Amino acid sequence: MLDKINLKILQELDYNARIPYSKLAKKINISKQNLNYRIKKLIKEKVILGFMSVIDTHKLGNLTYRVYFRYKGVNEEKEKEIISHLKNNENVLWLVSTTGSWDLEAVFIAKNFIHFNNILKKVKEDLGKYFTKYNISMSIVNNHFQRDYLLNKTREEFKPKYYGFEPKQEKLDDLDTQILAELSKDCRQNNQEIGKKLGVTYHTIQNRIKNLESKKIIQAHRILINLEKINRKYFKAFISLNNPTKEEEKKLYSYCSQFNFVVYLVEVLGGWQLEIETEVESQDKLTELLRKIRNEFPDLIIDYNILQVTKEHKLNYFPNDKQKNLKTT
């Protein structure tokens, strides 16, 4: 069981993983030495699994597509091969194993639907015989919320970080691209470490990161938490909506975000329109939330389906360090 200080550390790092430890120590009122010891222990005990920057790939001219796969005659050894194959795909941003209607979910980045179709064709060529069916949806926007449940904090405003909306084409040079690649792997690297790797000064890295943040290409710097270590499970609900107006949609999103165990709200274009992703003690918590949503919006919710994410295999918001020049063939 984690004590309150460790929970404060996790909650603070969850949205600002690059914060200097001296500043973080003051913020939670402990010594820097104590903080260093605690974070090293959290990493050693695999409570913290990594540090990564949330990068809005849509601002780099990309789109994101969510694909759900159902296995066909796949044993444990073959499943490992399938997962390894998809993990190594440079267009896969997120990859998880699931239980319920689907066995695997992958989020792909692509320049457009033709590019995505080529990516999927290659996946089906290599792995298609191991799937009975799949479902495709376009991810319009993925809203990220801080893990306020760690300290049982109340959310009062709808101000999530995100990636999505209509793609733009922000200009990146090779150095920007290399910086994003480094931050997506480990955002706790300091400016001097990154500068040494890339052959530029500390100040150059500092200024480039500030510029990428100001353009909201970098949305946040987060930690990857081992949910088993904090007694949480990852459940998500697929919600089919009854033609909501923009105002109704806004009210629904705002209502869902008030629950501090809701960690992602994903608007999608496909068989359903909304994915509510939660980190909860049990499925009952999500079921209770869905009941409240149906009572609050009785004419808006057509149907829903629940799925559990059992293992996260990959999360990298900049999986292809050539994203500014993704090939479309």
Residues 31-71: tens digit of each pLDDT: 999 999 999 999 999 999 999 999 999 999 999 999 999 99
pLDDT of 328 over the 50 cut: no
Across 90-116, average pLDDT: 97
Neighbours of 151 (CB within 10 A): 14
Q: Is the pLDDT of residue 325 over 70?
A: no
What is the helix (H) or strand (E) element at residue 165, kind and residue range?
Answer: none
Q: Is the pLDDT reported for residue 305 higher than 90? A: yes
Say whether pLDDT at 197 is over 70.
yes
Q: How far apart are CA 247 and CA 277, in angstroms?
A: 22
Q: Which residues contact 128 (CB under 8 A, 6 or more apart)?
A: none
The pLDDT score that the predictor gives to residue 161 is 86
Query: Can you tell me the mean pLDDT for 177-201?
Result: 96
Question: Is the per-residue pLDDT at 327 higher than 60?
Answer: no
Element (H, E) at 203: helix 202-214
Nearest CA among 281, 239, 238 for reference residue 100: 238
Q: Containing H/E element for 239? A: strand 233-241
- 148 is written with which tokens? 């306020």
Q: How far apart are CA 184 and CA 164, in angstroms?
A: 17
- Convert the pLDDT of each residue in 113-167 to its tens digit: 999 999 999 999 999 999 999 999 999 999 999 999 999 999 888 888 888 888 8
Which neighbouring-strand residues pair with 136? 67
- Mean pLDDT, rounded, for 238-266: 95
Residue 323 pLDDT > 70, yes or no?
no
pLDDT at 322: 60
Is the model's pLDDT at 292 over the cut of 90? yes
Q: Which CATH number, 3.30.230.30, 1.10.10.10, 3.40.50.1950, 3.40.50.2300, labels domain 4-45?
A: 1.10.10.10
Would you put residue 84 in left (φ > 0), alpha (ψ -120 to 50) or beta? Answer: alpha
Specify the CATH architecture of the domain 58-146+227-315. 2-Layer Sandwich (3.30)
- pLDDT band at residue 329 using 50, 70 and 90 as cut-offs: very low
Could you give the CA distance from residue 51 to residue 54 in angstroms, rounded to a whole number? 10
Q: Specify the pairing of strand 63-71 against strand 233-241.
A: unpaired
The arithmetic mean of pLDDT across residues 10-26, rounded, is 96
**Which of 226, 235, 216, 229 minimizes the C-alpha distance to 317?**
216
Q: Is 70 left (phi over 0), alpha (psi -120 to 50) or beta?
A: beta
Q: Where are the domains of the chain?
A: 4-45, 58-146+227-315
What is the percentage of the chain residues whose pLDDT exceeds 70? 97
Residue bearing tokens 């040079």: 173
Give CA–CA dist 165/153, Å, rounded: 28
Question: 98 has which bridge partners?
Answer: 309
Query: Residue 133: beta bridge partners?
Result: 70
The chain-wide mean pLDDT, for the chain, equals 94
Share of the chain above pLDDT 90, in %: 91
pLDDT at position 157 is: 80
Calpha distance 265→16 (Å, rounded): 20
Query: What is the pLDDT averaged over residues 311-319?
Result: 96
Would 4-45 and 58-146+227-315 be classified into the same CATH topology?
no
